[in-house]
Amino acid sequence: MLRTNLTHILSEQEHAKLLQENENVMVCCGRMGPMCIPVYEVMEELENEYPHVKFADMEFDIPDARVIRDLPECRNFAGLPFVVYYKNGKVVKATSSIQSREQITSILDQYFGQEVKEPANK
């Protein structure tokens, strides 16, 4: 299991359930390596800022990670992590290799919008 504070996807069934139960999902499929760790850290930071998005990780080397590795959108990827963004269970964007906070938030805003927050003092 990856050492992050994200929701861990451990099987194809958990992956399917996560997509079924959440409209907006970002999954980072990787290892605890130098290109992956910064992406996990950004995702952990963004969980509070994007409450309408479910953030999760999946170990690249487990057999069930084929649900990410074998996606047509990931076919030509060479670097880890593979990051897949889902809207209503469908892939809307996939990236590979290290991503900055700005790159990630740009994708989140483009495909999932920014949730409108109610004013705290009504």
Residue in the block written with tokens 């399917």: 16
The pLDDT score that the predictor gives to residue 115 is 59
36 belongs to a structural domain: yes
Specify the pLDDT at position 1: 79
- Evaluate whether residue 122 is within a structural domain: no
Q: What is the mean pLDDT of each run of 10 residues along the chain (122 residues)?
A: 95 98 98 97 96 97 97 96 98 97 97 66 46
pLDDT for res 119: 47
65 within domain boundaries: yes
Alpha-helical (H) ranges within 22-112 are: 37-46, 66-69, 101-112
Asked if residue 25 lies in contact with residue 53, where contact means CB atoms within 8 angstroms, the answer is: yes
Q: What CATH number should be reported for the domain holding residue 43?
A: 3.40.30.10
Q: Could you tell me if residue 2 is inside a domain?
A: no
Q: How far is CA 22 from CA 40, 55, 78, 103, in A?
A: 19, 10, 28, 22
pLDDT of res. 85? 98
Full residue range of the structural domain in which residue 18 is found:
7-112
pTM score, whole prediction: 0.92
Number of domains in the chain: 1
In a domain? residue 1: no
118 inside domain: no
